[in-house]
Amino acid sequence: MNKKPIYILGTGLSHNGSAVLLKDGQICVAIEKERITRIKHDGGNDTAAIQYCLETEGIQLSDVDLIVQCENFEIPPRDFFRGERLFKGNEVPKLISISHHLAHAYSAVGTSPFTSCNVMVIDGCGSPLEQYLLLDQNQKESIASDVFNVVQMQCEKDSFYHFDGQNMIPLFKDFSEMSDLSSSEITLPTTKHSIGGFYATISNYVFGNMDDVGKLMGLAPYGKSGVYDYEVFEFINDRLFIKEDWKPFLDTPSNGYTFFKEHFEYYANVAKWAQEQVEKAVLQCIKLRTKQFPHENLCYSGGVALNAVANAKLEDSNVAQSIYFEPAASDNGLALGCAFYGWLSYLKQPKKQPNSSTCFGKHYSKETILHAYEEYKPELKMIAFFEEPELLQYSAEALLHGKTIGWFQSGSEFGPRALGRRSILAHPGRENMKNHINATIKFREDFRPFAPAVLQEKVQDYFEVGRKSPYMILVDRTKKEHLKNLKNVTHKDGSARVQTVEASWNPKFYNLIQAFYELSGIAVVLNTSFNKKGMPIVETPKEAFDLFKETALDVLVIENFVFLKN
């Protein structure tokens, strides 16, 4: 007799909302809300994301054993949160809430290879102190005593935990009071003293918005070190604080892209200074915590953990023997953490070993693809390949001849990076390809870099450190002898945000790069996300067709179908 599986639903209701379904402790479906609603960084109400998970798995809400939720500043009610919720009027399944940094921490340990480890969480702003103490009772001792001397609202800014294989034990938690947003000078968007808040502030200063703080990391290599000598961060009694004396020198905020371009060198120097300050602060903070509480394994999560340059320096610093960087480190990963908390801590079930994949989206059938194609038949012609090797040979030859490919395969990636399921692919060394993709396909700033996707076993041939980097979350440096062939995926300063591709969980993408290698002698392709500026990565075949039509993409591959413009 088959035992009924245990389903746990994790739901994140902060910005970058998401839902995750665990089946017997393993992720079976996960989706970010923005992929469904097509609104970048969409959060709040969780109905759309949860329905996607239930429909994909083919179950009802009544089949779910437990729901675990997390927001940021509040504990969402069962019936309504920015709209009606699916659980309205139902007593079951049971719904529990966890604090913000705890969700980040569990998202890292649940997807990591470790059975025990320490966990660092660094972001802009987590749960308010009162909410944390309400949800995590009897855990005051991990909080610095002077936190309790502050009268105004304070929120989590960095947290250090130990995971013993089942439970998360807080070792050191820091909080910061909120910023006074009425002030006329530069203020951090949420908390006064967080690394993530500082980075978002400088991003807003440089670009005039906080839509994509990762752009700052892409701009920094164009700047010079040492132009500004202000130190932003200091540690007092092991707690991180932000000084005030650097704020007056930032007196020329950008008022749009034209202004930014006119003053490019100035903003690039500011970005370089800010990036270096963040790298120093991250390393100092983590070294301080790991010195107090050593362990051979470290997990790292929270929005700041997406900084691939700081991450590489952290890995090189040997603060731990093994470091796992959570691929969905920002708030899109909260739902993962909620689900794993439910399995590990609430139900006390043993941790299951993950298979390293981050791709948990819906698989679209042949019928769905052909149905979506009906609308585009007059404009697009289709070639159907019945044998995968033929498809891969065709696609590799297209790349060799300078064609750009929209590559849509199987279930979508969970997290901010396209890893070969919803990607735009191109030749890494073709003259002017980087500018062409930025200008006519992505419609984004020309300074922004693209990633090299390289066969795992070849990474040391092309890159100086040759580190394993399956989630495009660490930078390396391109070896001099390969700079020409990798010019479109090597940044201004010689760095590259590498993705190492493994056959074990990314077989079709691996085999495509292998086919390109056999034709070109280069075991690397240019990989960027299948979207344009301001748009979430495509989720459905229809969205892929629409983007193919409105951009200069040459070829669209959806599963084993190839589409070309007439």
Query: In this structure, are 399 and 445 located in the same domain?
Result: yes
- The mean pLDDT of 101-125, rounded to a whole number, is 97
Query: In this structure, are 304 and 381 located in the same domain?
Result: no
In this structure, the strands spanning 405-408 and 380-384 are unpaired
Sign of the Cα pseudo-torsion (88, 93, 98, 101, in order): negative
- Say how far apart CA 202 and CA 189 lie, in whole Å: 10
Query: In this structure, are 79 and 218 located in the same domain?
Result: no
Domain that holds residue 474: 366-565
Edge to edge, the sheet with strand 495-501 lists 380-384, 561-565, 555-558, 405-408, 422-426, 524-529, 451-455, 495-501, 474-477
Average pLDDT, the chain: 96
Q: Which two tokens stand for residue 519?
A: 């034709």
Prediction pTM value: 0.96
Residue 359 lies in a domain: no
Query: In this structure, are 296 and 382 located in the same domain?
Result: no
Q: What pLDDT does 189 receive?
A: 75
Cβ-based neighbour number of residue 140 at 10 Å: 15
Q: How far is CA 153 from the centre of its chain?
A: 28
Q: What pLDDT does 184 receive?
A: 54
Query: In this structure, are 105 and 131 located in the same domain?
Result: no
- The mean pLDDT of 8-18, rounded to a whole number, is 97
Residue 132 lies in a domain: yes
CATH number of the domain encompassing residue 51: 3.30.420.40
- The mean pLDDT of 366-370, rounded to a whole number, is 97
Query: In this structure, are 75 and 143 located in the same domain?
Result: no
The pLDDT tens digits of the residues spanning 63-98 come to 999 999 999 999 999 999 999 999 999 889 999 999
Angle (deg, nearest 10), helices 541-550 and 366-374:
40
49: closest CA among 65, 31, 63? Answer: 31
- Say how far apart CA 108 and CA 119 lie, in whole Å: 8
Residue 434 lies in a domain: yes
Query: In this structure, are 26 and 93 located in the same domain?
Result: yes
- Say how far apart CA 282 and CA 195 lie, in whole Å: 8
Residue 360 lies in a domain: no
Residue 118 lies in a domain: yes
Confidence category of residue 134, pLDDT binned at 50, 70, 90: very high
The pLDDT tens digits of the residues spanning 170-218 come to 999 999 999 876 655 677 777 899 999 999 999 999 998 766 778 999 9
Q: Side chain identity at 82, as an amino acid letter?
A: R
Query: In this structure, are 393 and 457 located in the same domain?
Result: yes
Domain count for the chain, please give it. 3
Query: In this structure, are 181 and 148 located in the same domain?
Result: yes
553: closest CA among 536, 530, 533? Answer: 530
Share of the chain above pLDDT 90, in %: 92
The helix or strand, by DSSP H or E, that contains position 399, with its residue range, turns out to be helix 388-400
Residue 361 lies in a domain: no
Q: What pLDDT does 182 receive?
A: 60
Share of the chain above pLDDT 70, in %: 99
CATH number of the domain encompassing residue 398: 3.90.870.20
Query: In this structure, are 346 and 405 located in the same domain?
Result: no
Confidence category of residue 144, pLDDT binned at 50, 70, 90: confident
The pLDDT tens digits of the residues spanning 539-561 come to 999 999 999 999 999 999 999 99
Give Cβ neighbours of residue 356 (< 8 Å, ≥ 6 apart).
113, 470, 502, 504, 505
